[in-house]
Structure 1
Amino acid sequence: MTNENETVAMPDMTQTHPLDPLWSLSLMSVRADALDTALELGLFSQLLRPQTAATLAECTQLDEAALQALLDVLWSMGLLLRRRCHSRVPCRYGFELAGSMIRWLNPESPEYCGDSLRFRLHSMRRFGAQLPQLLRQGSMAPEAAGQSSWAQAAQSQIWQEQGAATAGLAVQAVRQLKELDGPRRFLDMGGGPGRVAIALAQDQPLWQGVVFDQPETAAVAGQAIARAGLSDRVRAQGGDMEQTPLGGGYDVIWCSSVLHFCADVPKMLARLYEALAPGGYLLAAHAELPDDRELAARILPYYLPLRMRGRTLWRQGELAVMMRQAGFGRLHETMLESYPLAPACLVSGRREAA
């Protein structure tokens, strides 16, 4: 029963409501669906030049009113530019793919990321639907996908994500290392389709390298290396990263989001240390569980499926501690804000010269 003397709480009209972050979740879902739909229908390739909803509806045979509403949402997301048309019809706008998005959303661009964006959205939603069951029954089984599935992923979404961010970050990180003039050797550990190794070889024309991954994925990398005309300097090697000999004498090892999948991280770090030449560097880029809540909010949703599968997401600073225990010196930590999907911490360490 309501007390007649009760007063209604009056919200502060100058502040957002405490429930706003929760209300925003449903709106984020709609924005994700809007992007997914536009990619599925190939709308962005139609918007490389300005189009009204009417002209776009005519060439795509979509409903004009519904298309107008979708284009407005995509504009509000910053994906499209909107310009008023010179028309007697009020509020008639032309839409065009935003210049900052052309390289990522134009299917003809070598840096296109549409397949990756759709894959991540669908995979995260499939996982989210399993959460109640997982909390009742326990953690998920380890990844059931075979080598063929991983190799297929390497050809599309992983290739796109490496091109969008990882390869550039790796090149930039290597450029900052000291005492690496002249011919050198590098290892791209767990390198997937090899786009990072290709970028490193192109940036360092005197270097030779190896991409190491599962056999079928390494075959994908080998094909990409050949297409890039780098087979004389870069090769792909397949095997089990925790068992197969990695070779030695490397001046740089790039290891990105690989250690999460190792059964024994300290042992793997020891293997990488031994694979380095004296004076060589390990660059290990991985997510960590931060103490800062806002940073954690950007990282933890993406890594929730990994943790549910029993994989490790160590606390902030723990990777540096493990690397020090493995013998690495000159440790340095850098937060990679533009790492694909969620920020990662790049820990660099050196095997000191004899």
Structure 2
Amino acid sequence: MKSTITKELVVDYLSGKASALQKQLIDEWVLVEENEEQFYAWLEEYEVTHPEYSANVEGAITNYHRFVEQIDAKDVAQPVTISTKKIDRVSYTTNWFHWSIAASFLLFILTIGYLKKEAWYYQTYSTAFGETKSVTLPDGSQVTLNANSSLRLPRWGFTKINRQVFLLGEASFSVKHTATHQPFVVQTNRKFNVVVLGTEFSVFARERKAKIVLSKGKVQLTIQVGPVIQKMMMKPGDLITLDSQNHAQLTTTAQPEMHTAWRGHRYTFDGTTLQEIIYLLAENYGITAQVADKSLLSLTLSGSFTADNADQLAEVVDDVLGLQSTRQDNRMVISQRKP
């Protein structure tokens, strides 16, 4: 049977013109898996053709020319009656000053035009090295960002049109279920998305690898591997790890909460290599660590430890593994402790 949901009807829905019955039909239609991809394709097209704000760069340039003309007219209306030699110098200085102002004004307008999408379309939350931050989104969902991470979401229409966020780094999510069953989509630069309705999960998306851990509810993971799009359904306790090529490995964990222990400045290691800890120092604290002997990289650490900063974490590692860390600014050298 041919679907009664058309592109025109979805556009009316996104524009707030659909009736209550039409909204209900679309909400039910989009919950069907094969319809979801079509909905997001129409949504993307709608957002491109219906921007919330568009900078009038051409108008700004026109205003800039008028501004310069007004400056020149004011110069002509108020001549300076001093010696010829001084007139030439003052005229040159005045024109240079006015043209500098005009050029700065034009540069400002063009910069605003270039950055308009980021500055006007999106709200961005970010953390520095060693910092964590908890935020409440407009729909009531809770997000905690780990260090050196950012979360971007639309300034307008987040709860009415779609709930899409873009994550760089690592974060834990507690997503609020809406009355209209709106999907919540976490996009990443690692060519994978997490689609949920209401659940608790964490996402780690760094350059070297990525992982998704589900604590409660149900999520769908969409992964791009080369030209192929793969979909995987996750249930509580599932842990999916992606390598640099997005090849997925599914395991289970009896304690999914240990993967978000960083929210309380706690680190839980289970056979974690020193190499992994060095990655953590770089990603969370911006510290580049090197080892005096490469054989040390295979040393493993297990246990749960509290560390409020990089120095405390290094101290824990040193004590457990019998190492010695020497730090200078953002560089660290790790060596075997001398007897």
TM-score (norm 1): 0.30
Pick 1 or 2: higher relative contact order, CA cutoff 8 A, min separation 6: 1
> More helix per residue: 1 or 2?
1
From the two aligned structures, give the one with the greater strand fraction.
2
TM-score when normalising by structure 2? 0.31
Greater C-alpha radius of gyration: 2
